[in-house]
Amino acid sequence: MPVTRPTDGEYVCHGITWATGDPRLLLAPLPGGPLVHAEIMNQRLGFRALGTGRWCTGRYQFADTIRVEPLACPDRAPAEQSGQCTRCGGQDDFRFAHQVHQGGHAPEVLRRYMEQPHWLYLATFADGTPKIGTAAEPRKRSRLDEQGALFATYLAKADDGRTVRHLEDALTRRLNVPQTVRAAAKLQALSELRDLSTAQAAHEKDVTRAAETLADMNTAAVLEQWTAPAEGARMRRAGMKCALYPHDLREGEHGFTLDSFIGSQALAALDREDDMAYLLDLGALKGRRIVLGPFNSRKTAVQSALF
């Protein structure tokens, strides 16, 4: 897929991806064309949100037996179920991945994909909230980079996707640890972050509990620590002045420079004269139509917080 800096024009936004090893804005140009991984780290991003509707974010296709890649909706159609139009949803074989270990339907391409090694991980967010998750071998790194966690540990490596999902469900039941955390909760937790010690202590405690539970299940734990991307270093620094971005990204005009990322959450500066850093979640743009261009955010008085 093309990797480029953002250019002016109209797009359907597919959100943030870390597939290239750093945060990129994944964009489907209108009226057509392949998806673009737009560079936004340390870049000025200006856009205008168009309307309140949601638009199809395409589907995944199997590039070979071990990788999947996103495709734009060929019709750039309005979204229906699960952020997709009927056409893309019906052609998306990857949508069965989360039920295949429970005996659900598995197309041949998905079956081959699930036969490769998978990883089980535990991620912890800024307020100490944990989640259990899985990643296929090719997505081992990028899957965790996109989560928006402060700490994470790979708990175990399974021979295939079915096995790792059974382990995931078992830890969720036994430890009462969720498999999803809301994006709004991640953002709010980051806005209230004062130091890393609370989240780190919670993570270490939960990893110990998970390892003990895996041992009870006769499953060997690997306990390999995930290394947080350098792009998030500024957001992990305690005592920095910041505020939640005061505008809804899904409407109106916006413009800022992005200089730090944790998952889809970012720190933004409105202009050089403003020493305030604003915390926002670019994941809110997923499924929205936007026009990239020389737009600016409205100035608003905000209450700062130590971050």
Q: Is the pLDDT of residue 239 over 80?
A: no
Alpha-carbon separation of residue 234 from 174, 241, 242 (angstroms): 36, 11, 11
> What per-residue confidence (pLDDT) applies to 66?
77
Model confidence band, residue 63 (pLDDT cutoffs 50, 70, 90): confident
Q: Is the pLDDT of residue 225 over 80?
A: yes
Q: What is the pLDDT of residues 108-145, one digit of tens each?
A: 777 888 889 999 999 999 999 999 999 999 999 999 99
Model confidence band, residue 96 (pLDDT cutoffs 50, 70, 90): low
What integer best gives the mean pLDDT of the chain? Answer: 90
CA angle 173, 177, 179 (to 5 degrees): 95
Judge contact between 255 and 270, C-beta under 8 A: yes
What radius of gyration, in Å, describes the C-alpha atoms of the chain?
20
Q: Is the pLDDT of residue 98 over 80?
A: no
Mean pLDDT, residues 96-115 taken together? 69
Pairing of strands 241-244, 277-281: parallel
Q: What is the pLDDT of residues 2-25, one digit of tens each?
A: 555 657 899 999 999 999 999 999
- 242 or 105, higher pLDDT: 242
Mean pLDDT, residues 240-267 taken together? 94
Mean pLDDT, residues 186-193 taken together? 93
The token pair at 254 is 């916006």
> What per-residue confidence (pLDDT) applies to 62?
82
- Distance between CA 264 and CA 1 in Å, rounded? 20
> What per-residue confidence (pLDDT) applies to 306?
45
- Distance between CA 146 and CA 135 in Å, rounded? 12
Predicted TM-score (pTM) of the model is 0.90
> What per-residue confidence (pLDDT) applies to 64?
78
> What per-residue confidence (pLDDT) applies to 307?
45
